[in-house]
């Protein structure tokens, strides 16, 4: 199984993934990244601040970035 690396930016800090996770294919990697981003969002958004941005960049074994997901939380007051 190929190994994918998920670099996660939680709005404050980038955590580079040096370990990686073995997954079936690119589609599984996308599902994993999507689920992870939504879990992190669900956890972090209620904690702090009206504006938050989270992102995950997924790399393959050779370091190529395969895709990036971004989640933005924005509050607008009237």
Binding site for another protein (CB under 8 A): 6, 8, 15, 17-19, 21, 23, 32-33, 35-36, 39-40, 43
In the block, tokens 């996308």 appear at 30
d(CA 20, CA 61): 9
| Nearer Cβ to another protein (64/77) | 64
Nearer to another protein, 11 or 40 (CB): 40
CB of 63 to another protein, least distance (A): 18
Tell me the closest approach of the beta carbon of residue 51 to another protein, in angstroms.
21
Q: Which residues are within 8 A (CB) of 72 and not within 5 positions of it... i.e. 6 or more apart?
A: 52, 53, 54
Which residues have C-beta within 8 Å of that of residue 74, sequence separation ≥ 6? 50, 51
If the CB atoms of residues 21 and 73 are measured against another protein, the closer one turns out to be 21
């Amino acid at each position: 199984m190929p190994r994918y690396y998920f670099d996660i930016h939680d709005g404050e800090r980038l955590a580079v993934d040096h370990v990686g996770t073995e997954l079936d294919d690119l589609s599984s990697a996308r599902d994993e990244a999507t689920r992870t981003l939504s879990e992190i969002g669900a956890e972090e958004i209620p904690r702090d601040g009206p504006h938050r941005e989270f992102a995950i960049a997924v790399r393959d074994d050779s370091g190529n970035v395969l895709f990036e997901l971004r989640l933005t939380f924005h509050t607008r007051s009237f």
